[in-house]
């Protein structure tokens, strides 16, 4: 059955994009358990396999049913467009224990046998301890699974936001929303999500958080229940090339023209990226990458756009032509 999100007049004014390291951490944990999500992430899975084996993810997996409710308090909508993990996990730790337990119990009910598991019995007896345990588990998962690659992940997510923000300005919300994913349809103020499950919600003036995600691919997720602000999580553009390393051979003509490292920076910008993401990917000092970006921008090969505290660089048509060897 489809899910429906119904917009009122005020909701159009309160739609926003956001990026959430907490959400990516939750979905990275879920991806480890979901072979159908492994396709694009095989290089990442091979690299983190040994480190992930040292994590106790069982209590988090217990609250991630394939079909059904996952606790909203454990992965709430992001506080702002570019919230840090530290800000988001602090909000999780401040959750009211009794409300968190009710939300958790609803999730446990989606998995046969889970409500009577040892974890569930312990959480029922001491909800405050449950909040601490699960927040600790998420923070450990962040440190091991996501934090080392966060500059690359954040750059891809912010590039998605920059692209779709431009489209929003060009075509408006009613055209943009179906462009986010082919399973979305818009008609007369109602957004329909073709997926398993049934959900019908009037946004009630809260608007909608639009959140690209790397690890939720290929799923399209909508939530959250009141009092949380409604959110739509969709697969980010460019996931297929996320773990692709720079080409071993930058075009020789481009090297002769620009120099090896400057040519490598231009070639690596197949998707918009930040200075830190490029430095991480190319294994160059951020100061060196920043200098190369400045030269390439002055030469008309790149443009720069600010997103929050980050600056995203992308190739101009001339830069695309040179990078492709055209």
Q: Does some domain include residue 50?
A: yes
Q: State residue 326's pLDDT score.
A: 55
User: 235, 269, 299 — which closes off a domain?
Assistant: 235
Q: State residue 118's pLDDT score.
A: 95
Each residue's pLDDT tens digit in the chain (326 positions)?
Answer: 678 889 988 888 889 899 999 999 999 999 999 988 888 898 999 999 999 999 999 999 999 998 888 999 998 888 777 789 999 999 999 999 999 999 999 999 999 999 999 999 999 999 999 999 999 999 999 999 999 999 888 888 888 888 888 888 888 888 999 999 888 999 988 999 886 566 788 888 888 999 999 998 888 888 777 778 888 999 998 787 778 765 556 777 888 888 889 999 998 887 778 898 888 888 899 999 999 999 999 998 998 877 666 788 888 878 877 886 65
Question: Structurally, how many domains does the chain consist of?
Answer: 2
User: 235, 258, 277 — which closes off a domain?
Assistant: 235
Antiparallel, parallel or unpaired: β 209-213 and 231-235: parallel
Q: State residue 246's pLDDT score.
A: 56
- Does one domain contain both 250 and 220? no
Q: CA-to-CA distance for 164 and 219, rounded, in angstroms?
A: 19
- Does one domain contain both 66 and 157? yes
E strands, the chain, are 3-6, 16-17, 184-187, 190-193, 199-202, 209-213, 221-223, 231-235, 302-307, 310-315
Q: Is 9 left (phi over 0), alpha (psi -120 to 50) or beta?
A: alpha
Spatial neighbors of 227 by CB under 8 A, at least 6 apart, are none
Contact 41, 235 (CB under 8 A): no
- Does one domain contain both 122 and 97? yes
Residue 60: count of CB within 10 angstroms of its CB? 22
User: Domain residues for 307?
Assistant: 245-323
The structure tokens 């040519």 sit at: 263
User: 235, 253, 287 — which closes off a domain?
Assistant: 235
Question: Which residues pair with residue 315 across a beta bridge?
Answer: 302
Q: CA-to-CA distance for 250 and 175, rounded, in angstroms?
A: 38
- Does one domain contain both 111 and 255? no
Q: Does some domain include residue 240?
A: no
Q: CA-to-CA distance for 229 and 27, rounded, in angstroms?
A: 19
- Does one domain contain both 148 and 10? yes
The CATH number of the domain holding residue 315 is 1.10.10.10
Q: Does some domain include residue 270?
A: yes
- Does one domain contain both 141 and 39? yes
Q: State residue 196's pLDDT score.
A: 57
- Does one domain contain both 192 and 316? no
Spatial neighbors of 314 by CB under 8 A, at least 6 apart, are 159, 269, 271, 272, 273, 302, 303, 305
Contact 233, 211 (CB under 8 A): yes
- Does one domain contain both 272 and 221? no
């Amino acid at each position: 059955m489809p899910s429906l999100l119904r917009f009122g007049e005020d909701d159009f004014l309160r739609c926003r994009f956001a990026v959430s390291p907490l959400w990516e951490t939750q979905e990275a944990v879920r991806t480890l358990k979901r072979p159908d999500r492994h396709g694009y992430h095989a290089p990442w899975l091979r690299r983190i396999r040994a480190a992930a084996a040292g994590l106790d993810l069982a209590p988090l997996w217990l609250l991630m049913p394939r079909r059904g409710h996952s606790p909203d308090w454990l992965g709430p909508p992001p506080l702002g467009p570019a919230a840090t993990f530290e800000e988001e996990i602090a909000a999780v730790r401040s959750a009211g224990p009794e409300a968190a337990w009710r939300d958790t119990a609803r999730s446990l009910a989606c998995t046969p046998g889970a409500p009577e598991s040892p974890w569930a019995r312990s959480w029922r007896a001491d909800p405050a301890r449950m909040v601490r345990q699960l927040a600790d588990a998420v923070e450990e998962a962040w440190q091991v699974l996501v934090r080392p690659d966060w500059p690359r992940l954040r750059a891809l997510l912010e590039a998605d936001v920059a692209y779709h923000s431009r489209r929003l300005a060009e075509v408006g919300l009613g055209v943009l929303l179906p462009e986010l994913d082919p399973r979305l349809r818009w008609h007369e103020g109602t957004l329909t999500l073709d997926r398993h499950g049934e959900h019908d919600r009037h946004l009630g003036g809260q608007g909608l958080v639009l959140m690209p995600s790397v690890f939720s691919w290929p799923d399209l997720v909508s939530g959250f229940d009141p009092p949380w602000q409604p959110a739509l999580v969709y697969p980010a553009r460019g996931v297929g090339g996320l773990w692709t390393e720079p080409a071993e051979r930058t075009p020789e003509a481009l090297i002769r023209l620009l120099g090896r490292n400057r040519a490598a920076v231009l070639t690596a910008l197949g998707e918009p990226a930040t200075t830190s993401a490029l430095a991480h990917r190319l294994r160059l000092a951020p100061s060196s990458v920043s200098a190369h970006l400045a030269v390439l921008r002055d030469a008309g090969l790149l443009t720069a756009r600010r997103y929050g505290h980050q600056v995203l660089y992308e190739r101009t048509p001339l830069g695309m032509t040179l990078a492709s060897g055209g």
